[in-house]
Amino acid sequence: MATVGRALLILALVVALYGVAASIYGAVRGRDEWIASGRRSVYAIAALVTGAFAILEIAFLRSDFSFATVASHSSTTTPTFYKGAAAWSSQEGSLLLWLWLLSLWSSLVLFATRNQLRRVAPYATAVLLGFAAFFAALLVFKETPFELRAVAPAEGNGLNPLLRHPSMMIHPPMLYSGYTLFTIPFAFAVGALITRQVGAADWIRATRRFALGAWLFLGIGILLGARWSYAELGWGGYWAWDPVENASLLPWLTGTAFIHSIMIQEKRGMLKIWNVSLILATGVLAILGTFLVRSGILDSIHAFGASTLGIPFVTLIGVLIAASIGLVVLRRSELRSENRLDSLLSREAIFLLNNLVLVAMAFVVFWGTFWPLIAEALTGTRRALGPPWFDKYTVPLAIVLVLLSGIGPVIAWRKATASNARRNFLLPAVAALALGAVLAAMGAAERPLALAMFVCGAFVVVSVGQEFWRGVGVRRAMTGENPLAALRSLVARNRRRYGGYLVHVGMALLFVGVAASTAFNDARDVRLAPGQSVRSGDYTFTYRQATSRISTRDGELEKISFGAVVDVSRDGRHVTTMRPERGYYPSRDVTGLGPVGRFFEGEATSEIGLDAGLRRDIWTAMTPDIRRLLPTIEQGDRVFAAAAGKLPAQLEGQALGAALKGIVDKYLSDRPQATFRVISSPLVTWIWIGSIVVFLGGLIALWPGPDAARRRVSARYAARVAEDLGRA
Amino acid sequence: MDIVALLVILVVLAAVVALVSAPLRGRAAQRVRADAEDRVAELEARKEAKYRELRDAEMDLRTGKLSQEDHRVLDRQLRAEAVEILKALDDARG
C-alpha cells in the first residue's frame, strides 16, 4: 500500500503543476475549457490526497510498523483513538494533513464559485494549486509518509505521551483548517489584483465565509492548545507566548482585523488597499505559522520539526511577500477608496481603530517571536523575550480592543451625533463604572490593568445586552411576536451582525478570565512530605499520602505512575481531594539502558488535580522524588544483566514484572517527599465559557441566511427605491 | 512492485486523466460573456450591500442610534446611491 500512497502523491504533484499551467493558460487566452480543466485538477488532487491520507491512517490503525512513520509515532499499546490521530504528530503526516485540508477547502470554494468570478477564479485556482504543488513536492521529495523500513520492528516507539490528550488530537486539524482556509481569500485577492477586479462585490463576497471559517477554526485550534497546556503540561498556565503559540495567533489577529474591515469595503467601497494587504499578510502568516511548527527554527516546546524544510519554506514565504507587495503597488490606482470617512464618531472609525489595535498587537507578537533571530543577526547571541515583555504591550492593547468591541455595536454607521451617543453609551458606561467602583473597593484597585479590563468587559456585556434588548423590542413592536420568537427572528434576519455581537461578549468574558487569572492567581512551588501542608490563596493543600500504580494495555506495560492524595480545605472545611500523578512511559530506545532503568528514562507526563469552578480553579501538579529508588533500579538492572540469556523469555518477563512491582511498593513504603505546584486562580473557567460563546457567535455569523427571506426583503426595498425613482 | 498495486495506480491514473481532460475532450464550451456577467454580478452585490445599509440605517433609527433628522438625510443619500446602482444594473443588462 505504501507504493500506492507514494504514487498518489506523485500524481497529485503532477496534476497540481498541470492545473497551474492550465488555469493560467485558460485565463490569459480566454479558453473556458482549460479553466474548467484547471478547476477539475483541484478536485482530482482532493481525491488523490484523500486516498493517500486513508492509506496512512489505515497503516496507523493496523500498527503496520513497516511504515517508518508508524513505527516512529505509534505502538501497539497506543489507544486506538490516538492511533488514528498519531498520523499528524509526525512531520510528514502533518504536511499530508495540510495538503489534504487545502485540497478539500479549495475544491469547496471552486465548486461554489464555478459560475462566478470568471476572470478572478482561474488565477485563484492557480495560486491554490501552487500551494498544493509546494506541499506535494515536500511530501514527494523531502518528507514522505510512505517510507518503508527494510525490517519492520515488532513494536513502535509510541505516540509522544504529552500528545495523549483529546484536545491535542483535534488541535492540529483545527489549526490547519484555519491556515488552509485563509489561503482561499488570499488566492482570490491575488486573482482580483491580477485582473483588476478589486471591488467588494467579487472576491470579498465569494470568500467572506471562508475567511470567517478560517478565523473560527484557527480560534478553536488556539483555544484547544491553551486548554491542553493548562491540563497537560504541568505548569498551570494556558498561554506562555511560546513561538509556536504566537505563530498561530498572528494570522488570527490579522484575520480578525480583515473580517471587520471588509465590512467597510462592502458598505462604503473604502479601505481596499488595507483589505488586500491584510489578507495577503494573513495568507503569508498562515504559511509562516506552518513553517515555525515544522522547521524548528525557533526554540519551542511545540516545535516538532527538524530544519530540513527551512529553505523551501523561506523561499516560498519570500516569493509570497515579494509578489504581494508587487501586486499591491502595481494596482494602487484601482485600489483607491470610493468614499471618505464621514465622521470620526461612526462605526467605520471604530472599525478602523480596532484594525489598528489588532495590527499593532500582531506587530508586537511578531517582533517578540522573531526577536531571537533578530538579536542573533545583530549581536551574534540568540536571546528570547519572555512573557513580561509581551504582557507589557499586549495587555494595554487588549484593554483598548475590548473597549472598542463594546463601542462598535452601539454606534451608527456613517455618523453618530453626540446626543445619540450619550443615549446609547449611558447605561453601559454607568453599569461598567459602578462595577469598577465596587471591585476597586473590594481590592481590585491593586491591579489597575486588571480592573480596567473588568470595567471594559462589563461595558461590552451591557452594551451588547442593550442592543439585543432594543432589537427584540423593535421586532416585537413590528410583529407582535413573543420575546423569544422576536429574539430568534432578530438574529435570523441578520446573523452576521448579531453573531458578531455574541463574539464580542465571548471575547470580553475570555479577557476578563485572562485578566483575573493572571493578576490574582496564587501559585506556590513547594516540597512536601506526607502530612505536610501549604497554603495558596484561601486554600490549604495537605499531602496526605503517596500513591503508585502500574498501568498495562494489551498485556504490555504502558506506564508507571507515582502520585499523591492531596486534601484541599478552606477555613478548616474540606473542599476536595485531588490525585495528581506523574506517569513514566518506558523508553523505546533501549540503547545503553537496563531492562528496569528504561522504564524511568522515557517520556514523563503530568496528570493534574483540578477542581474547576465559576469563581475559582484549584489546581495542583506533582513531581515525585524518585532518587531513593535509583539504587534499587540500578541493582535490578545488574541482576537482569547477569541473568541475560539464562532465563526463558516468559520467566524473564515475570521476573521483570515482579521487580517493577517491588519498586512501586518501595516508593509507597518510603513515605516519599514530592515537589508540588499548587495554584488557586480566579475565573479561569470564564476563559473556556467565553471561548464557547465566541464560537457560538462565530457559527451564527457563518451560518447561511435563508435565500428566500433575503429575496423578499430585497424585493421590498427594491420597490421602495423604484418608488423614489418614480417620484424623482 | 506487486501487480495489484500497479493495477490500482493505473486505474487511478486513468480516472484522473479522464476527470481532468473531460472539458478539453468535449465540445469546446461556448465562450460566455464573462466580463458582462461579472459586471452584473458586481452590481447585484453592490445593490445588496446598499439595501443592507438601508436596513441597518432603519434599525439604527428604531434602536435609537440615529435621530429622525440624521436618518432622513442618510436614508435619502442611500436611496440616491441605490438608484444609481439600479440604473447601472439596467444598463449592464442591456
Beta-carbon contacts of A516 under 8 Å, excluding residues fewer than 6 positions away, are A450, A454, A682, A683, A686
Residue A722 is predicted with a pLDDT of: 57
Instruction: Give the ipTM.
Output: 0.77
Q: Closest approach of chain A CAs to the CA of B3, in angstroms?
A: 11
| Residue-range domain boundaries for chain A | 1-163, 165-347, 405-519+699-727, 522-683
pTM: 0.89
Cross-chain CB nearest to B74 (options A410, A414, A717): A414
Domains held by chain B: number: 1
Instruction: Give the separation between CA A405 and CA A257, rounded to whole angstroms.
Output: 12
Q: Assess contact for A686 and A518: CB atoms under 8 A.
A: no
Instruction: Give the separation between CA A19 and CA A122, rounded to whole angstroms.
Output: 10
Interface touch A415/B48, C-beta < 8 Å:
no
Beta-carbon contacts of B51 under 8 Å, excluding residues fewer than 6 positions away, are A713, A714, A717, A718, B82
Residue A296, class by beta-carbon neighbours within 10 Å (0-12 exposed, 13-18 middle, 19+ buried)? Answer: middle
Amino acid at A601: E
Residue A416 is predicted with a pLDDT of: 74
B7 interfaces chain A, CB cutoff of 8 Å:
no
Three-state SS string over chain B comes to CCHHHHHHHHHHHHHHHHHHHHHHHCCCCCCCCHHHHHHHHHHHHHHHHHHHHHHHHHHHHHCCCCCHHHHHHHHHHHHHHHHHHHHHHHHHHC
Residue with cell string 480592543: A401
**Structure-model confidence comparison of residues A307 and B72, the more confident one:** B72
Interface touch A412/B46, C-beta < 8 Å:
no
3-state DSSP percent of chain A in helix, strand and coil, to 5: 65, 10, 20
Q: Which of B3, B8, B12, B20 to mutate to test the interface with A (most CBs of A within 10 A)?
A: B20
Interface touch B60/A717, C-beta < 8 Å:
no
Q: Closest approach of chain B CAs to the CA of A74, in angstroms?
A: 25
Q: Assess contact for A460 and A405: CB atoms under 8 A.
A: yes
Residue A726 is predicted with a pLDDT of: 45
In this predicted model, what pLDDT tens digit does every residue of A34-78 receive, in sequence order? Answer: 999 999 999 999 999 999 999 999 999 999 999 999 998 888 888
Residue A406 is predicted with a pLDDT of: 94
- Domain that includes residue B40, residue range: 3-93
Could you give the count of Cα atoms lying within 13 Å of A626 in the half-sphere of its Cβ? Answer: 24
Those residues of chain A that have pLDDT short of 70 are 200-201, 295-307, 589-591, 705-728
Residue A590 is predicted with a pLDDT of: 62
B89 interfaces chain A, CB cutoff of 8 Å:
no
Residue with cell string 476597586: A440
Cross-chain CB nearest to A118 (options B12, B37, B54): B37
B34 interfaces chain A, CB cutoff of 8 Å:
yes
Residue A300 is predicted with a pLDDT of: 56
